[in-house]
């Protein structure tokens, strides 16, 4: 974990090294000032030597200024290094997330990834700054002050040593008890973020069903869980200060009593007033540094869970990567499934797709129909290698998809997803996701094929109409047609429509299918649909049932030979039902 995070310091190594150097310089200055104070009192004030007072006082001012500048520079470089590490961690996680396959994404919740990129990184940033500054400053202060104390008087310095050991033990006990609550608290942020994300993204549904009170209670519960964990942790941490104050006061009393006896008893030969003044200052330095060190341990304890969660994302390796020598050209849109078995979980005996054998010719139009959960989408996801097969192989253009460069393959396999996604920006900007170099004329042509030009031209700003986040200012059918146009701009060899005309009326659906058949005859077209009318004109239709191919043929052949297809066709043409309604009625689906 530490090695993973340290690798992201990168260009901020100099700032990370400079910070502790300036902290050490500040500590040296702070250690020398009490030393000078001793001679100022003994040789200056007590002997009425004002020249000595001026010289030593001037040196103390110089050392104080040097310490101040060193402290400021340490703070500056510490902030730069910690903020830089945070930036690199966010960039590293985000970059790695972009390489994830769907199976990698499935391991992390969306809310969990957001928490890692925000709250967890901030925790690590704060901890790193504390480590650079206080983890170096506090131990060096303790060592220097302890050495100076032993130089003045071994007996009194022994009090410091004993106090450090006792206070250190108490602080470590407190931190160990609080640490388990901090580790339990930060994963609770995932639940909180999930509640917020779900509520905001589905706000229309929440308001439509008047479920605001329910969502507020859910958020309050998630928030209260975090509150409880931090209260328990802070209730333990709060004992840090009383333990520190008790130790300081006891040390001051013992030093004052013992020091006074030494000064009076020896007539100032064993210990002087100036020495006692310096020892008091060193006492505060030692115990304050120990307190700082305890705060660092608390911060590190709090951030350790965050660091582990960040390392999980950074160390996650994409399941799907390019081969050593990838192919950069897809010959044609031919697709072959050869004894394919597929499961979303590795080493699982239960397959989502079982023994799939299929040969699709280039330019062929294939319809896929089946009930919900029959693995239609899982089947087509293997073509563009969004998932890898568990057994068997999928070949595109005569070659196994695992032999291709991923970018090349996915540019030649265009997918219009079941869930249509548009991004905030103009219509043209959304369309150019398909081809960033596409001209406005090419975008208009693609929209004509997708029957999207009909509604775009009615907008006052036409193709420069701004699309709100998620496409909230256009209808479901309009979103689907824009997504189809976007996919067509890629000019792929294979185009897959995953139930992507479900929100489009049947007349427009027919227009789109006719345009596609006429304008891109050489492109292999795969149409997943619930309505038989959407696929009955296909060259062949595949009937899926429980992850297996139940039948393949033309519309007429399946009506004659496939009972499932025939029953669904009769239910849709006779009673207007859809595929899943027939499934629940007939018992076979």
Using CA atoms, how far apart are residues 264 and 271, in angstroms rounded to an integer?
9
- H helices then E strands: how many in the chain? 22, 12
pLDDT at 116: 87
pLDDT at 574: 65
pTM for this model (two decimals): 0.71
What's the CATH code of the domain at 431?
A: 3.40.50.300
pLDDT at 587: 35
Mean of the pLDDT values across residues 347-376? 88
pLDDT higher than 70, residue 227:
yes
DSSP-H helix ranges across 374-505 = 376-381, 406-412, 427-431, 440-449, 453-456, 476-488
Are 464 and 510 found together in one domain?
Answer: yes
pLDDT at 589: 27
Query: Is residue 589 situated within a structural domain?
Result: no
Q: Is 581 exposed, middle or buried (0-12, 13-18, 19+ CB in 10 A)?
A: middle
Are 147 and 12 found together in one domain?
Answer: yes
Question: Of the segments 59-68, 208-217, 218-227, 271-280, which one has the largest average pLDDT value?
Answer: 59-68
pLDDT at 585: 41
pLDDT higher than 60, residue 578:
no
Question: What contacts 24+ positions apart, CB below 8 Å, involve 472-478?
Answer: 474/422, 475/503, 476/420, 476/503, 477/503, 477/504, 477/505, 477/508, 478/452
> What confidence tens digit (pLDDT) does each residue in 162-217 have?
887 887 788 778 777 777 777 777 667 777 777 787 777 777 788 887 888 888 88
Query: Is residue 320 situated within a structural domain?
Result: no
Are 385 and 501 found together in one domain?
Answer: yes
pLDDT at 580: 52
What's the CATH code of the domain at 246?
A: 1.20.1560.10
Distances (CA, A) of 352 to 98, 286, 341, 542: 26, 65, 8, 17
Query: Is residue 93 situated within a structural domain?
Result: yes
Q: Tell me the three state secondary structure of residue 397.
A: coil
Mean of the pLDDT values across residues 477-503? 84
Using CA atoms, how far apart are residues 494 and 536, in angstroms rounded to an integer?
19
Per cent of the chain over pLDDT 90 is 19
Confidence of residue 106 (pLDDT cuts 50, 70, 90): confident
Distances (CA, A) of 502 to 18, 94, 575: 62, 33, 18
Residue 97: give the domain boundaries.
Answer: 2-315
Six token digits for residue 16: 């990370």
> What confidence tens digit (pLDDT) does each residue in 123-140 have?
899 889 888 888 878 888
Are 242 and 363 found together in one domain?
Answer: no
Using CA atoms, how far apart are residues 461 and 128, in angstroms rounded to an integer?
50
Are 362 and 410 found together in one domain?
Answer: yes
Nearest partner of 514 among 487, 534, 489, judged by Cα: 534
pLDDT at 92: 92
C-alpha 265: how far from chain center? 67
> What confidence tens digit (pLDDT) does each residue in 502-541 have?
667 777 777 887 887 888 888 899 998 888 888 888 899 9
Mean of the pLDDT values across residues 471-485? 84
Mention every residue, 6+ apart, whose C-beta is less than 8 A from residue 242. Answer: none
Query: Is residue 325 situated within a structural domain?
Result: no
Are 238 and 371 found together in one domain?
Answer: no
The total domain count for the chain is: 2
pLDDT at 588: 34
pLDDT at 576: 47
Distances (CA, A) of 153 to 160, 255, 298: 11, 11, 33
Are 367 and 289 found together in one domain?
Answer: no
* Cα angle, residue 409 at apex, residues 538 and 420 outer, rounded to 5°: 60
Are 482 and 558 found together in one domain?
Answer: yes
């Amino acid at each position: 974990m530490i090695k993973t995070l340290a690798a992201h310091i990168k260009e901020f190594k100099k700032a990370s090294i400079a910070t502790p150097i300036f902290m050490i310089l500040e500590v040296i200055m702070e250690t020398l000032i009490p030393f000078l104070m001793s001679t100022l009192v003994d040789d200056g004030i007590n002997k009425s030597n004002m020249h000595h007072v001026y010289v030593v006082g001037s040196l103390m001012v110089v050392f104080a200024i040097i310490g101040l500048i060193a402290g400021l520079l340490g703070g500056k470089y510490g902030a730069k290094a910690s903020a830089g590490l945070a930036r690199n961690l966010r960039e590293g996680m985000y970059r790695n997330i972009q390489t994830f396959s769907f199976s990698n994404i499935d391991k992390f919740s969306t809310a969990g990834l957001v928490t890692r990129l925000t709250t967890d990184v901030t925790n690590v940033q704060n901890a790193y700054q504390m480590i650079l500054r206080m983890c170096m400053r506090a131990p060096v202060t303790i060592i220097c002050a302890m050495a100076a104390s032993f130089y003045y008087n071994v007996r009194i310095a022994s009090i410091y040593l004993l106090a450090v050991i006792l206070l250190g033990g108490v602080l470590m006990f407190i931190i160990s008890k609080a640490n388990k609550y901090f580790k339990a608290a930060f994963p609770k942020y995932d639940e909180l973020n999930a509640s917020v994300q779900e509520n905001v993204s589905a706000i229309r549904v929440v308001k439509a069903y008047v479920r605001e009170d329910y969502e507020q209670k859910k958020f309050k519960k998630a928030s209260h869980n975090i509150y409880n964990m931090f209260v328990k942790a802070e209730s333990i941490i709060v004992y840090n200060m009383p333990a520190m104050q008790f130790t300081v006061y006891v040390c001051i009393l013992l030093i004052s009593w013992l020091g006074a006896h030494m000064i009076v008893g020896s007539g100032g030969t064993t210990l002087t007033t100036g020495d006692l003044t310096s020892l008091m200052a060193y006492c505060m330095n030692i115990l304050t540094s120990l307190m700082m060190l305890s705060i660092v341990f608390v911060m590190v304890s709090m951030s350790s869970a965050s660091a582990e969660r960040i390392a999980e994302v950074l160390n996650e390796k994409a399941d799907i990567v390019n081969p050593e020598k990838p192919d950069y050209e897809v010959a044609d849109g031919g697709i072959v499934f050869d004894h394919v078995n597929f499961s979303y979980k590795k080493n699982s005996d239960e397959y989502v797709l079982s023994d799939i054998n299929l040969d699709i010719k280039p330019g062929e139009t294939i319809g896929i129909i089946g009930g919900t959960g029959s693995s239609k989408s899982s089947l087509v996801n293997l073509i563009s290698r969004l998932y890898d097969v568990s057994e068997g192989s999928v070949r595109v253009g005569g070659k196994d998809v695992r032999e291709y460069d991923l970018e090349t393959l996915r540019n030649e396999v265009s997918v219009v997803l079941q869930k249509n996604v548009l991004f905030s920006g103009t219509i043209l900007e959304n369309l150019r996701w398909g081809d960033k170099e596409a001209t406005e004329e090419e975008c208009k042509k693609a929209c004509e094929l997708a029957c999207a030009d009909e509604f775009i031209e009615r907008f006052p700003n036409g193709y420069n109409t701004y699309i709100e986040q998620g496409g909230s200012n256009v209808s479901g059918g309009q979103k689907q047609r824009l997504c189809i146009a976007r996919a067509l701009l890629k000019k792929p060899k294979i185009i897959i429509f995953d139930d992507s005309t479900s929100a489009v009326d049947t007349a427009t659906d027919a227009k789109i299918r006719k345009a596609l058949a006429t304008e891109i005859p050489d492109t292999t077209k795969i149409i997943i649909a619930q309505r038989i009318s959407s696929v009955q004109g296909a060259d062949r239709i595949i009937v899926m049932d429980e992850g297996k191919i139940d039948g393949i043929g033309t519309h007429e052949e399946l009506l004659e030979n496939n009972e499932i297809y025939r029953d669904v066709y009769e239910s849709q043409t006779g009673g207007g039902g859809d595929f899943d309604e027939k499934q629940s009625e007939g018992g076979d689906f």
